[in-house]
Structure 1
Amino acid sequence: MISLTELAELRSKLEMNDPDAIREILEELPPYDLRQFFFFIDEEQQKELLSYLSISKTAHLFEEMEHLDQKKQFMSLVPAALKSEIFREISSDDLADFLGEISQKEAETILTKLDQPEAENVRDLLHYPEDTAGGLMTTEYVHIMSEITASEAIDQLRRKAPDAETIYYLYVVDDSGHLLGVVSLRELLIAKPEVKIHDIMYERIISVPVDLDQEEVAKVFTRYDLLAVPVVDHNHYLRGIVTVDDVMDVLIEEAQEDFANFSGGGGDQGLFISPIQAVRKRIPWLILLLLIGLITANLINLFKPTTQKLPILLIFMPMIAGMTGNAATQSLATVIRFISNGELTKENYGKLLRQESTIAMLIGLFCSLFILGFISLSYDGRLGILVAVCLFFTLIIGTIVGTMIPMVLQAFKIDPTVASGPLITTINDVVSLMIYFGLATLFVQLISS
């Protein structure tokens, strides 16, 4: 990863106007570092930078762009005469992703500049939803017939490799395009030249259907440690492959989305999102939390006679609510982790609930004894018992709420990350304060009688 110092040094070399030196450096830069440098310099320098890049390097730089605004800004600086060549060089899956984000008219204009077979490939990819295996796949792969020899397969590989996304796997198909097997590059290289492909191919193929959700596709990669996986339709025709680099992007995207939901941020938000869009995503959660907060405020007012008789209760109110929310959030994070890695199913809901309840009781007992000792020494023994008992029950209830809400959402096929920390914490504020002030009212009535 390129550092700020290296970026500054590279910019100074660009300003020195030494074309040969800067061209050599830029061609050796990985696409990610090149993108970092591209957005490190000003617009005039960006135009100069593009003049030093080869067509293939420019295409790689485009593929590294993360957001539509970045891609549009980039293409606005590319000379019109070079745009067609660059679009031809961009991989079919990346180009399809870009065309799917712009207007249909703009997309058709770009497609007319491509060769007919390539344009048809891209059009086919545009038919699949973006977040499915079909939306992730590329049609640039190496496929061979089962009847040819290893030597003939290597010859075909040499011809097809320059246009392929990856050459580590060669997919074996029949005359109709049905997927029959796969041969790794390693197996092909160590095989005797005269050996037939059907004798060395692996027939128990790990493949995914075109309509499989991208998150499930990522799980296939993590379970089987693959570099690429073939994508087939319902008739088992090979339609494309998904490569590990695209899956890494999916894992990052899903993690960011889950984190945004978990924090109540309203889903995916990037640096280039407009303030109005951000507000639309965030405001529903905040309004919901505000309404629940009003219930909490009314609860405190409802128990005003109790707090007037025993005002010291207010000192421990934030501690009770905070500890309950923390316990719930810990359980929520645990359940979501089990859901995300596929360990949690409906069959073991009860087991996890019992486990978390046992943990909650042990934690509640430990924390209650601690707070009992502290309050008894610092304030009053009877007050210590009251707060300790309240803390014990609220910790158990908070943990159960944090465990059950994502389970219920999963059962109804709703993303469990929407059971965000702020939501569960706010709900538990209401529950914990009801328990706290309810027991406190009973306590006040007992000591007053």
Structure 2
Amino acid sequence: MNQNYINEILAIIRSNKGNDYIKEELLNYHENDIAKIFPLLSKEERLKLYKILDQDTISDIFSYLDEPTEYLDEMSNDAAADILEKMDTDDAIDILEEMEESDRKELIGLMDKEAVDDIKLISSYSDDMIGSKMTTNYIAISRYATVKKAMKTMVNEAATNDNVSILYFVDDDDTFYGAMDLRDLIIARDGSNLDDLIKTSYPYLKATELVSDCLGKIKDYALDSIPVVDDNDHLIGVITSDDIVEAVRDEMGDDYAKLGGLSSEDDLDESVFKSIGKRMPWLFILLGLGLMTSLIISGFEPVVDALPLLVFFQSLILDMAGNTGTQSLAVTIRVISNEQTTKKDVAKLILKELKVGLLNGLIIGSISFCVVLLFLMFVKSKDAGMIYNLKIATSIGISMLASIIVANAAGTIIPVIFKKCKVDPAVASGPLITTLNDIIAVSIYYGLAWILFKTLIG
């Protein structure tokens, strides 16, 4: 935002001009720009602003505020309830959820029945469902209307519903029938058959569908809004482009949290104990797997005693296995998250990742063999003999090859199995894949060394 806007808006509000002048000037600015100056105003200046601007404008401004509840507290309960009524239902719910339960109930009790019904409808769906992301701000028209009647309905409804770019049509029982661009209605002739203009195969979403399952469809259509229906195909809301962006952002945040082994995304304002509760389950699982890795290494104690050099290169093997497994995991999750991915595509992906793992393993393993051999010959164990150094380098090179192949396979196959079992594949991620790869890589590394140095170990 241009910094001058802040100064301009502040100057207008703090001027000695009349209220009509201030209102007329402020309406030249976007509501988001006005929201930016709220923290810079005194309480008295904000109260003055509430009186000057109409409730529709104030409600639009409040939808852009970072801490709207702080400013609602400055108003009377009746005024605050009126502001919430004018807001999009999903925005009003976000604000109400930040309030104390007693304050929330009091404000809801002051709101009109239609607004309360909309709030109850959206709140009835869990946060991971499409219904929780929708808004009731849309225009619905009877499919049996004439062009003239449809235009009149649109004009009347536009006063309270500003999502007018797409019009939705329903049967007499509110069953979703189709949709039409506003432009098509505007240019339609009075005598045109409205049914011929309605797109009856228009995409829609079920309110009970999971957001994560619908993101592919939402992004593919790239619409300003998508209708939402209940289990009986009655039109009950729409998902707007703003809601879509928010849903994608929330889903990405949740997936990113799962890549860290969390059950869901940490919230900045949640309590320490709640954050601990989210993280602890996976930490216990990873602790168990980590202990298993340590137990496996302890089983190779004779190898470590006879060949302490192997310990120097252990982290090299484990890190590369973890890195390649995570790469494969990221590719796999992206592919299988697409609803259009078929079983054939999944099989093709697995085969491709195995080939990638094999080639990467050959390249990295060969480089590791050469670098380690040179390091041993000229730096670390010059007097140990060529055969000894070759066996150590071979152990590392072959272990690197095998670990990368297995890590690529695990990073691909495990999330596919999770998806098949109706478990979010994102949880088969980061720490879990890395720890499993550690167990496998350690077993391969020390097991191969045991075979090559069997006579030395005894």
TM-score of the superposition, structure 2-length normalised? Answer: 0.85
How far apart in 2 are the matches of 1:393 and 1:329? 16
Structure 1 segment 249-288 matched on structure 2, within 5 A:
249-288=246-285
Matched residue SS, 2:158: helix
Using the aligned pairs only, state the percent identity.
27
Q: For 1:329-364, what per-residue CA distance to the aligned partner results, in whole angstroms no more than 9, with x for missing partners? A: 011111111122235444544332222111100100
Q: Work out which of the residue numbers 319, 323, 328 in structure 1 matches 2:325.
A: 328
Cα distance change, pair 448–282 in 1 and its aligned pair in 2 (3 A):
closer
How far apart in 2 are the matches of 1:319 and 1:326? 11
Structure 1 segment 324-403 matched on structure 2, within 5 A:
324-379=321-376, 380-403=389-412
Cα distance change, pair 375–104 in 1 and its aligned pair in 2 (3 A):
closer
2:420 aligned partner = 411
Cα distance change, pair 433–47 in 1 and its aligned pair in 2 (3 A):
farther
1:222 aligned partner = 219
1:314 matches 2:311:
yes
Structure 1 segment 23-422 matched on structure 2, within 5 A:
30-32=30-32, 37-38=37-38, 41=40, 45=42, 48-49=45-46, 51-52=48-49, 54=53, 55-64=55-64, 70-99=67-96, 106-379=103-376, 380-422=389-431
Cα distance change, pair 306–180 in 1 and its aligned pair in 2 (3 A):
closer
* Residue 149 (structure 1) shift: 3.3
Please give the root-mean-square deviation of Cα atoms over the aligned residues, in Å: 3.0
Task: Kindly provide the amino acid, as one letter, of the partner of residue 252 in structure 1.
Answer: R
1:438 aligned partner = 447
Matched residue SS, 1:162: coil
Task: Kindly provide the amino acid, as one letter, of the partner of residue 401 in structure 1.
Answer: A
How far apart in 2 are the matches of 1:26 and 1:291? 61
- Whether the 8 Å contact between 1:231 and 1:241 is mirrored in structure 2 is yes
Deviates most, 55-64 or 416-425: 55-64
Cα distance change, pair 84–167 in 1 and its aligned pair in 2 (3 A):
same
* Residue 29 (structure 1) shift: 5.3
- Whether the 8 Å contact between 2:9 and 2:34 is mirrored in structure 1 is no
Q: For 1:386-422, what per-residue CA distance to the aligned partner results, in whole angstroms no more than 9, with x for missing partners? A: 2101111111111111112211111111111111201
How far apart in 1 are the matches of 2:103 and 2:13? 38
Cα distance change, pair 170–221 in 1 and its aligned pair in 2 (3 A):
same
Q: For 1:205-234, what per-residue CA distance to the aligned partner results, in whole angstroms no more than 9, with x for missing partners? A: 222222222233433321222211222233
Cα distance change, pair 398–14 in 1 and its aligned pair in 2 (3 A):
farther
Q: For 1:360-398, what per-residue CA distance to the aligned partner results, in whole angstroms no more than 9, with x for missing partners? A: 001000111111221222213332222101111111111
Cα distance change, pair 278–118 in 1 and its aligned pair in 2 (3 A):
closer
Q: For 1:111-154, what per-residue CA distance to the aligned partner results, in whole angstroms no more than 9, with x for missing partners? A: 33223333333333333334323322222321223343333322
- Whether the 8 Å contact between 1:221 and 1:227 is mirrored in structure 2 is no
- Whether the 8 Å contact between 2:146 and 2:193 is mirrored in structure 1 is yes
Cα distance change, pair 31–306 in 1 and its aligned pair in 2 (3 A):
farther
- Whether the 8 Å contact between 2:399 and 2:445 is mirrored in structure 1 is yes
Cα distance change, pair 335–170 in 1 and its aligned pair in 2 (3 A):
same
Q: For 1:247-299, what per-residue CA distance to the aligned partner results, in whole angstroms no more than 9, with x for missing partners? A: 11111000000000111233111221222221221222223323322333333
Cα distance change, pair 390–343 in 1 and its aligned pair in 2 (3 A):
farther
Deviates most, 407-416 or 223-232: 223-232
- Whether the 8 Å contact between 1:100 and 1:126 is mirrored in structure 2 is no
Matched residue SS, 1:180: strand
Q: For 1:17-66, what per-residue CA distance to the aligned partner results, in whole angstroms no more than 9, with x for missing partners? A: 44769977865554555555546x5xx74674464253334322433357
Deviates most, 377-386 or 352-361: 377-386
Task: Kindly provide the amino acid, as one letter, of the partner of residue 56 in structure 2.
Answer: S
How far apart in 1 are the matches of 2:448 and 2:23? 75
Cα distance change, pair 14–278 in 1 and its aligned pair in 2 (3 A):
farther
- Whether the 8 Å contact between 1:146 and 1:172 is mirrored in structure 2 is yes
Matched residue SS, 1:139: coil
Task: Kindly provide the amino acid, as one letter, of the partner of residue 62 in structure 2.
Answer: F
Matched residue SS, 1:182: strand
Unpaired runs of at least 5, structure 2: 377-388
Deviates most, 140-149 or 219-228: 140-149
- Whether the 8 Å contact between 1:35 and 1:64 is mirrored in structure 2 is yes
Say how many residue pairs are matched: 440
Cα distance change, pair 314–31 in 1 and its aligned pair in 2 (3 A):
farther
How far apart in 2 are the matches of 1:13 and 1:360? 61
Matched residue SS, 1:261: helix
How far apart in 2 are the matches of 1:381 and 1:19? 88
Matched residue SS, 2:159: helix
Task: Kindly provide the amino acid, as one letter, of the partner of residue 58 in structure 1.
Answer: I
Cα distance change, pair 298–45 in 1 and its aligned pair in 2 (3 A):
farther
Cα distance change, pair 202–448 in 1 and its aligned pair in 2 (3 A):
closer
How far apart in 2 are the matches of 1:312 and 1:24? 79
2:380 aligned partner = none
How far apart in 1 are the matches of 2:267 and 2:30? 23
Unpaired runs of at least 5, structure 1: none
